[in-house]
Structure 1
Amino acid sequence: MVLWFTTLDCAGLAAYVIWTCKNPDWNARKTQRRRLFLMECGKNLVDIVLQKRAASPPQSLPYTVRKAIEQIGTATSAERSEASKEEKHIYRRCVFCGRKRDKKVRTSCIRCRKPCCNEHLRSYCEHCDVNPSTSK
C-alpha cells in the first residue's frame, strides 16, 4: 500500500509541475495550488467512472450507490429511460397496498415516481403530501 500511494503521490506531483509550467496563471493567488490541482484531477477521473456506472442497468447498482450518484448530479439510466418505461405500460404493485392486496397499477406519484393505486393517488402519493421536503 505504501508503495502504491508513494507512486500516486509522485505521479500527482509530476502532473502538477507540468500543468503549472503550461498554465502559470492558474489559481496564481491561491496558497494551496497543488491541493486544488489534485482535487480537480481526482474529480475529473471519478466523473468518468460515475458516468459509466450510471449508464449501467439500475438493478445492477445498489440503492445507496444510485442515490449517491443522483446527489452528485449525474442522471442514472433509470431517469433516462423513464419515457421508454411509460411506453411499455409496465404494471407495478402499489407501494401502500403491499403484497397482501396485490394491486397492480400503471399510475405513479408525480414527485417520487412510486407506483400508487387510485385509492392512494392524489396526482402525488400520500407520502409526498405529508412530507413535501422529502420528495426527490
Structure 2
Amino acid sequence: MFNPGSEVTVDECLVPFRGRCSFKQYMPNKPAKYGLKIWAACDARKSYAWNMQVYTGKPRDGQPERNQGMRVVLDLTTGLQGHTVTCDNFFTSYALGQELLRRKLTMVGTVRKNKPELPPALLTTRDRTVFSSLFAFNETHSLVSYCPKKHKNVLLMSTCHKDGKISDREDKKPEVILDYNRCKGGVDNLDKMVACYSCKRKTNRWPMVVFSTILDVSAINAFVVWREVNPSWERGKSIKRRLFLEQLGKALVSPQMERRQRVPRTPASAAILKRQQQHSSNEPGPSTDPLQKRKRCQVCPWAKDTKTDKQCTNCKRAICAAHTVFLCQMCVD
C-alpha cells in the first residue's frame, strides 16, 4: 500500500503497561517508565510504520542474545532496497553496515565509544577545539568525531557519505550529523501521534494492550495512505487526522449497525425457524401459565408465604420463579 521514502528510521518504543507480564520492561528514560517494548521501522518523513516487532524477553535457555541490535535491524528492514536506515548507538555497528550494503541499503547512526572497530584518534578529546570534526574513511564506511562542547565528542558512522563535508552554520556541524538529526525522529513522532488519539482503555491484560496498539498504528498508516492518495482532502484544516478518525470509526460501525437491524438468514435456516415456531404453537411446552388470581406457591414452605401468578402447565399447581424450570422445545420432545 505504501512504499517508504528514501529514509527509514529504526528505533524502540514503549507501550505503557503496568499489569503482570513476563516481558514487561522498565525504561526510566521513557515517560511511561513501565510497559511493553516494541521495535519499529518507520518512514522518517511520514512516520508510516513499515514493520514492528514485540520484544518478548530473553530466550528460553536464559542466555542473553548476541548482536541483538543487528538482528532487529535486519528483521525490520526485510523487503526494503535502496533506502537509508537511521538508527541510534544501540543498533549501529560496522558489521551491520556491511550486511545492509549486501542488501542494497545504507546506514547512518551514532556509535558507542566501546566499539572495537573505532580508531583511537577519534575517541580522544584532548587538545580538540569546540565545533571541530575528525573523519576516517575506508572503502565502505565513514566515521566522524564532532566536538559540540569542550572535552566531549559525538561519534557517527555512515555508509552513504563518502566525504567530510561540513555545513556553513555557526556550529559547523558535518553533513552526516545534519542528516541523522533530520531522520532520527520517525519512531518518536509515531509515538506522539499514537498518544494524541488512541483507542486504548485501562486494562491489566497485555494482549489487549498489544491489540489496541495495532489498531492505533493501523489507523495512522491508513491516514498516511489516504493523504497520499487524496492530497487535497480537507485542505486548510489543522485537525485532518481527527476528522479522518471520526469518519473511519463511523465507516467501521455502520455495516454492523445496518446488519443488526435485520438479521439475514439463509433459506435453510429460515425454514428450520418456521418449523420450530409452528411446532411450539401446536404443542405447549413446560412453561408457566398465568393465573387469574395470585396464589401462594405450593412448593415453597408456608413460613415463606411467597405469592405468585404462575402455575405449572402439567399439574396446574401455583409455583414461583424460584421453582420454575425452563426447557427448550428440543428437550421437551
- Mark yes or no: TM-score above 0.5: no
Could you say which structure has the larger radius of gyration? Answer: 2
Which structure: greater strand fraction?
A: 2
The structure showing larger relative contact order (alpha-carbon pairs under 8 Å, at least 6 residues apart) is 2
TM-score normalised by length of structure 2? 0.17
